[in-house]
Amino acid sequence: MALTLYSLLQASLLIVNAVAVLHEERFLRHIGWGSDQGIGGFGEEPGIKAQLTNLIRSVRTIMR
Amino acid sequence: KRRGPAAAPRMADPHPLFDDTSGSQPGGRGFAAPPPPPPASQFPPGAAFPVSSLAVAYGSTLATQGLDMVDRNINRFIPVGRLKYYFAVDTVYVGKKLGLLVFPFVHQDWQVRYQQDTPVAPRFDVNAPDLYIPGMSPPRDPPLCLWGPPQFSPDSLGLQASSALAWLLLEVVAIIFALYVVTVTTDLTPIDLVAFAGYKYVGMIIGLIAGLVFGRTAYYAVLSWCCLSVFVFMIRTLRLKLLAEAAAEGVLVRGAKNQLRMYLTAAIAAAQPLFMYWLTYHLLR
């Protein structure tokens, strides 16, 4: 039960680290989550997968 | 005015920021390395002793500089002006809001009234979110929880309090993440979400009090009632903010986008009772 602020900090740090480690060329491309695999296009709003891909890419850019 | 410890000492600072209370005690407390303290009888009050006056002056300049720095930087992290809006409440509003939290079934109009594009302060509109009630509730939670069981200790008080805060933060972060992924365009600020997430503490406290005074069955009964009312409250409030206009007025709008938003609203509202139960059940033995 005892979720302390410190454990929250630890968890967030580990999660950010995990996202930063997701290399696009080596992993995401095979799953179809690469940065150049058809997220684009105006018109309809981006779906969930596009948002997640964007999020991963922005986190990695900030962490670089 | 920078004043290093090795500078020539002045005898008295013309505009002291605070009273020199180092009169009958060894001077230079904590600021500069003090010389061995003279006996108290040789030490007249006032700045006759050079090191003490130096320390006083240094401390006062340090204090003003620190205050300036805090003033300049506080607005970068916490928008103080925005926060003031959430605390503009009065007793009538608090009473009505608490009644609404416990019995939201009769209230008809949930729309927040606006005034030239900015929401009206909570004092004038019962539907506006505030931070006063959520601010008062989590600190009440731990003392109540620990009243019953005999294992009260100051450590567990702090642990319980920070645990409640951590769960609140986690929930708000999860909601923000979900809102981002589903690309809902809404005018809910993160502070609004903190306010809404904090409303469930009212139900928790009422349930806990009932449980402590009347026993376990009363706790379950009161808590389920509060869970239900918080659920309805959240759905009715969030419906207006998250869903499209047509759907908010009761018309069932089919379509993938709206359905996803409806599920999201229902999920956020359903998470509240879950949290309410989870955070309190083990405290009532």
B167 at A interface, C-beta within 8 A: yes
> What is the reported pLDDT for B6?
43
> What is the reported pLDDT for B4?
46
* Chain A, chain B: beta-carbon pairs less than 8 Å apart: 32
Q: In this predicted structure, which of B36-45, B80-89, B163-172 has the lowest mean pLDDT?
A: B36-45
With a cut of 70, say whether residue B203 has pLDDT above it.
yes
Alpha carbon distance B107, B128 (integer Å): 14
Q: What is the mean pLDDT of chain B?
A: 71
* First-last CA distance in chain B: 61
> What is the reported pLDDT for A62?
83
**B56 with B13: CB under 8 angstroms?**
yes
pTM of the model: 0.64
Domain parsing of chain A, residue ranges: 4-32+47-63
Chain A neighbors of B170, CB-CB under 8 A = 3, 8
B255 at A interface, C-beta within 8 A: no
> What is the reported pLDDT for A48?
72
**B66 with B74: CB under 8 angstroms?**
no
Q: Report pLDDT digits (tens) over B132-172.
A: 777 777 777 777 766 656 566 777 777 777 777 888 888 88
> What is the reported pLDDT for B71?
76
**Which residues have CB under 8 Å from B221's CB, separation 6+?**
B210
Q: Which residues pair with B114 in a beta bridge?
A: B119
> What is the reported pLDDT for B75?
65
A46 at B interface, C-beta within 8 A: yes
Chain B neighbors of A48, CB-CB under 8 A = 181-182
Alpha carbon distance A25, B171 (integer Å): 33
- Name the band, by pLDDT with cuts 50, 70 and 90, for residue A2: low
A62 at B interface, C-beta within 8 A: no
Chain B neighbors of A51, CB-CB under 8 A = 180-183
Q: What is the mean pLDDT of residues B209-235?
A: 83
> What is the reported pLDDT for B182?
73
> Closest residue of B to A51, CA-based?
B181
> What is the reported pLDDT for B5?
47
- Name the band, by pLDDT with cuts 50, 70 and 90, for residue B259: confident
Domain parsing of chain B, residue ranges: 130-282
